[in-house]
Amino acid sequence: MSAIPIPTAASESPTRNIRRTVLPNGLLVLTERMPQVRSVSMGVWLASGSRDEPLELNGISHFVEHMVFKGTTTRNAQQFAREVDSIGGNLDAFTGKENICFNIKVLDDNIAPALDLISDLVLHPTFTPEDIAREQGVILEEIKMDEDSPDYLVHETFTQNFWKGDALGRPTLGTVKSVSGFTQPAVFDFYASRFTPCNMVFSAAGHLDHDDFVAQVAEAFSGLGASSGSPFAKHPAPATFANITLKRKKSLEQVQLCLGVPAPPVDSPTRYAMYLLNSMLGSGMSSRLFQTIREDRGLAYSIYSEASPFRDTGALSIYAGTSADKTLEVIQLTIGELRRLKEDTVHEAELKRAKDQLKSNIVLGLESSSSRMSNLARQEMYFGRFFAVDEIIAEVEAVNAVDVQMLARQLFRPEAIALTVLGNLGNLDVTREALAC
């Protein structure tokens, strides 16, 4: 191994065996040692996603995520596939509203070849015109496929109207118009502006040694030039719009609906109350919406709520699929549950059940090296620190019924509720009065 300068200043977490080192070029490397496992998961994370794209480049984050797999200066796509299979690895990637991630999971014997693969993927893509043209066709088909999925379409329509005119509301995949317009210079320019040390975090978890791993990462990423400051401007939190949108699509058998309100950002002090409120409202089989609308009334097969927190804003949304003649009843029952959370404090037994469910999800979600790797990167990017499981559980336990009720009153304001309804609606009409809770 060539002599690569390794910084001596590395901070350490005594509770989770977490260490962090900043390389000379500014790349942050995080590791969590898990001596009880035989796997190692590693990921290159970019602290930007589709919400950080200009309008004319909507979808380019997702496009570049696909394109790096098409070939590098040393490997083509087939060689990548063969080498990943030869070490029994699992190589994957995803693009979100605020992140892009490239990750691989292997046995601890294969750290070196896995690191060579993921670094080559991230650092040396070729972006040939031929590959760009082919991938544009692939993404356009992906867009068509998602538009043929009613539950995806109602969520996408809701999001676009909820954050109307802002990049957070635009589709992660982009549009037919934007994707068709991507050129090789635009792809290279975007890559150069985002794939920089100040916008990256390299996280790894599993059966590894921090110092040895950092030395290997430093060598693999030595060609990545140093950068300073932010390579692009992150816009302030967008406004939300409480629109009622009725989108008619006669070919659908079911009516899809999505109802939501603005919610706290990911680092809000009320985030644990938010998770518990969501759990009691519509996350799980014992939740109020599931029991009232599916079990008691038989009005829907699928109904749930979900919290979507981002760095500066968020949404709490409710989804249901039902028949056209039952749509208003489902909306009224949903509004009734929101009203009940505002007017009545939840019973201790229900709150305890939600806490036990949340604590279980937290603990079980950290059992694998891949989940620990993701947890490391997300906590660094959103909080700049790492939380022990016991600390998180203590925060969950500290939430009381009054906290939940106060949050419900802040969230469920009639003038803040947005609604999207999709399907063969006939004469269906929904007024603002119907959303009064």
Mean pLDDT of the 213-217 span: 98
Report CA-CA distances (Å) from 79 to 70, 85, 119, 120, 121.
10, 10, 15, 12, 12
Name the residue among 183, 160, 164, 162 with its Cα closest to residue 173: 160
Measured CA to CA, the distance from residue 180 to residue 105 in angstroms comes to 33
Q: What is the pLDDT of residue 372?
A: 96
Picking from 171, 186, 220, the residue at the C-terminal end of a domain is: 220
Name the residue among 307, 300, 309, 295 with its Cα closest to residue 378: 309
Q: Which domain holds residue 60?
A: 10-220
Picking from 186, 220, 254, the residue at the C-terminal end of a domain is: 220
Residue 15 lies in a domain: yes
Q: What is the pLDDT of residue 9?
A: 36
Instruction: Output the six-digit token pair for 182.
Output: 């991507």
Report CA-CA distances (Å) from 165 to 55, 73, 169, 240, 251.
9, 39, 7, 10, 29
Q: What is the pLDDT of residue 10?
A: 42
Amino acid found at 42: M
Are 237 and 267 in contact, with CB atoms under 8 Å apart?
no
pLDDT tens for 176-210 read 999 999 999 999 999 999 999 999 999 999 999 99
Catalytic residue among 32, 53, 65, 337: 65
Number of domains in the chain: 2
pLDDT tens for 226-263 read 775 555 677 889 999 999 999 999 899 999 999 999 99
Q: What is the pLDDT of residue 6?
A: 33
Are 323 and 368 in contact, with CB atoms under 8 Å apart?
no
Query: What mean pLDDT value characterizes the chain?
Result: 93
Residue 263 lies in a domain: yes
- Do 206 and 248 have their domain in common? no
Residue 320 lies in a domain: yes
Of the ranges 11-25, 31-45, 139-153, which one carries the lowest mean pLDDT score? 11-25
Region of 174 please: left (phi>0), alpha (psi -120 to 50) or beta.
Answer: left
- Do 115 and 248 have their domain in common? no
- 65 catalytic residue (yes or no): yes
Are 117 and 91 in contact, with CB atoms under 8 Å apart?
yes
Q: What is the pLDDT of residue 226?
A: 79
Confidence of residue 275 (pLDDT cuts 50, 70, 90): very high
